[in-house]
Structure 1
Amino acid sequence: MRTCKRLILGLSFVLASAPALSEQTFSSDKAEFRLETVAQNLEHPWSLAFLPDGSQLVTEREGRLRRIRDGKLQEEPVSGVPDLVVSGQGGLLDVILHPEFDDNRTLFLSYAHKISGEGMTTRVARAKLEGDRLSDVEVIFEALPRGNTSRHFAGRMEFDRDGYLYVAVGDRGEMDRAQKTDDDAGGVHRLTTDGKPAPGNPFTDDPSVNDTFFTYGNRNIQGMTIHPDTGEIWSHEHGPRGGDEINIIRAGNNYGWPDVTYGIDYSGVPITDRTTMEGVTDPLHYWDPSIAPSGMAFYTGDEFPEWQGDLFVGALKMQKLVRLSIENEDVKEEEDLLEGLGERIRDVRMGPDGALWLLTDHSDGKVYRIVPAE
């Protein structure tokens, strides 16, 4: 009994004497930084958006849209979120603001949806944010046909400079669907803000391909961002066991899944013996073994001039943040950060304050800011 008491007292001392996270300094090859905890007690947060008034919106996969004001997580979630299903990897996923949000208060949500007897799919809804509630909620996109799995919904979204919305849909765990261009699974769809096929989409003259398709052959995209200089949309996607990829999303491209991959099946059985083939776009970068990437952002702030133009990618399986130094379309340097943090990084965002923001994928998920160590 005395031994247990000494252990408890000793542990209490260690915990009490350990520096707070905001006081710890982390080092990279180019900069020293620390983490500030903005919010916690979020249930599997998935995506983050910055509002013009300085507050933030956070999605929880469990189906809640939360707001952070002045660094404090509001207890009551935003009301009016559309009906969705929380199952496996599905739930409330991405949130992104309309490019003219200041004027129209419009945002977009991606999420998993189920109809009994018909299965589940990835949906996108448009809505207006009025105070702490959503109004005028309208479904503008639904990936068809539905499926019976609870995997690979994808759901990441991004706007290009022309104001068109890119929506990633996973292969739903049924790999052959990614090569079927009359099936919305396994690709990136480019839409107007009304959900119609965007003008100039590459397959509108081909009756065998759904008009919203911009790319296909994508397995499960969970990171998407716009390049600050070129304006092109970059993405990353989960491979199976190995073969996580970074790609530039270009009109009409086939990214090969599952005909080519650097990974193998989870069972250990090869999926294919090819890593490239004619007519398929090779990845700009890949990981083997898998890191399970999620969330990505180019650094464009002033807080870390050494990181200007670097690409940051979160990792779920490997529980780290990856910094990639890129010249043109070549990765020149790769550095792993926050490996000792022990947290699954779900989302990475470039904040308007010049800081990088992170979400951690846990039942007690957190929102962090990366700020200079001073």
Structure 2
Amino acid sequence: MGEPESSSINAQSRSTSQFVVNGQSITYQTEVMAESLNFPWSLTFMPNNEILISEKSGQLKRLSSDNKIDSISGVPSVFFKSQGGLFDTLVDPDFANNQTIYLSYAGGTMEANATHIASAKLVDNQLTELKTIFQVTPDKKGPVHYGGKLAWMPDNTILLTTGDGFDYREKAQDKQNLLGKIIRINRDGSIPSDNPYASSQAYHPAIYSLGHRNPQGITYDNQNNRIVMHEHGPAGGDEINYIEAGKNYGWPVASHGKDYSGASISPFKTYQGMQDPLIHWTPSIAPSGLAVYAGEQFPEIQGSYLVGALAGKELRLVVKNDNQVVEQLSLLKELDQRIRDVRVDSKGIIYVLTDGESGQLIRISRN
């Protein structure tokens, strides 16, 4: 992919806005930290206040603490078409010693493609020792519904969300097929011996949960010791779920959404033996990116969920009291931008990526 390129991007655009939560008015500042990003898909915090930004077209960028942005070479070739491309990144917990990162991406051709995970060492601005450590099976046709989100578990195993491939939605219930699942693997790509179906002959041992449509947000909530995930519904029926090992989340047997034609997908909104969502959205907001808020900047929303919304063109704030959703707020509507990803740094500052061929990285802090 050639030599890394570097440029300097200055934060030029700042604005302030307000929201009210629990009767308290909060003023926040938005600041554009990077722009002209080509369909940015995810952001990941690195040591030394650096940020990795993946672009769906197959580029990986590193933003330094002084707003210098570098292109990283050696990224694997991706199947870039429609919803396919370079997806998420993870930084190894022992990065200071092993310089390892992980990438999820669509690989293959229009006729045979799948979600992959690769590991590599990030040395200066180059990926070395790149190797594929996991591939979703079987291959599918068409460039849609990959999932592709990654998250760490507390034991340093990796979670990967996989989509149902759109035309293969019944496979989300197939116990041997990895479409429409959450996968759990070790850092070397092997399958943990304590996966819920590791010793089952009926299930693929990599499966952690099943019955998902196209999950594009997953995180581990350290405050409550649980996995939180959201997924796209069809026409309506987007969901937030608490994920438990071995559980079935219903798709396409149960859904609050309808087919895009208006036809019913299933007569069931809930089904015995399958998990109901914490909340669902109809009409769809098209959720993408998920963070649990923790930090000093906005203590009023501690433990709340931040959800990027593509169709909604907003950052959806889901305010909770224990396990009950008590309020939802639409933030960043003033941007009129599709929000692709959202993360919270160690100081409680919120970062979002806007979607599109000229995407931006935006920093949200207390004014």
Fold equivalence (TM over 0.5): yes
Match of 2:193 in 1: 199
Match of 1:253 in 2: 247
Cα offset, 1:102, TM superposition: 2.1
* Greater strand fraction, Structure 1 or Structure 2: 2
Alignment of 1:1-374 (within 5 A): 21-29=13-21, 30=24, 31-74=26-69, 76-115=70-109, 119-173=112-166, 174-373=168-367
Deviations 1:254-277 (A, max 9, x none): 000000000000011110110111
Aligned equivalents of 1:359, 1:198: Cα separation in 2: 33
Q: Secondary structure at the match of 1:261?
A: coil
Deviations 1:53-103 (A, max 9, x none): 1111100001000111134252x5101111211011010000111122222
* Residue type at the aligned position of 1:152: H
Q: Indicate the larger mover: 94-103 or 236-245.
A: 94-103
* Residue type at the aligned position of 1:41: S
Q: Indicate the larger mover: 191-200 or 26-35.
A: 26-35
Larger radius of gyration: 1
Cα offset, 1:337, TM superposition: 1.2
* Residue type at the aligned position of 2:144: R
**Against the structure 1 CA distance between its residues 71 and 39, is the aligned structure 2 distance closer, same or farther, given a 3 Å change threshold?**
farther
* Greater helix fraction, Structure 1 or Structure 2: 1
Give structure 1 stretches of 5+ with no counterpart. 1-19
Aligned equivalents of 1:292, 1:96: Cα separation in 2: 23
Cα offset, 1:27, TM superposition: 2.6
Deviations 1:104-154 (A, max 9, x none): 1111100000157x5111000011111101111110110011111111011
* Residue type at the aligned position of 2:20: S
Aligned equivalents of 1:201, 1:129: Cα separation in 2: 29
Give structure 2 stretches of 5+ with no counterpart. 1-11
Aligned equivalents of 1:59, 1:44: Cα separation in 2: 9
* Residue type at the aligned position of 1:351: D
TM-score by length of 1: 0.91
Aligned equivalents of 2:60, 2:13: Cα separation in 1: 26
Contact 1:201 1:213 in 2 (8 A): yes
Aligned equivalents of 2:75, 2:336: Cα separation in 1: 31
Deviations 1:183-231 (A, max 9, x none): 1100000000011112211112221211000001000000011112232
* Residue type at the aligned position of 1:25: S
Match of 1:13 in 2: none
Aligned equivalents of 2:276, 2:15: Cα separation in 1: 42
Q: Secondary structure at the match of 2:97?
A: helix
Runs ≥4 in structure 1, deviation > 6 angstroms?
A: none
Deviations 1:305-335 (A, max 9, x none): 1121111101000100111112232212111
Aligned equivalents of 1:313, 1:357: Cα separation in 2: 12
Aligned equivalents of 1:46, 1:176: Cα separation in 2: 27
Deviations 1:13-71 (A, max 9, x none): xxxxxxx8513323333421110111000011011111111111100001000111134
Aligned equivalents of 2:77, 2:358: Cα separation in 1: 24
* Residue type at the aligned position of 2:14: S
Contact 2:48 2:65 in 1 (8 A): no
* Residue type at the aligned position of 2:35: Q
* Residue type at the aligned position of 1:36: E
Contact 1:39 1:71 in 2 (8 A): no
TM-score by length of 2: 0.93
* Residue type at the aligned position of 1:128: K
Q: Indicate the larger mover: 290-299 or 324-333.
A: 324-333
Cα offset, 1:354, TM superposition: 2.2
Aligned equivalents of 1:267, 1:71: Cα separation in 2: 49
Contact 1:99 1:159 in 2 (8 A): no
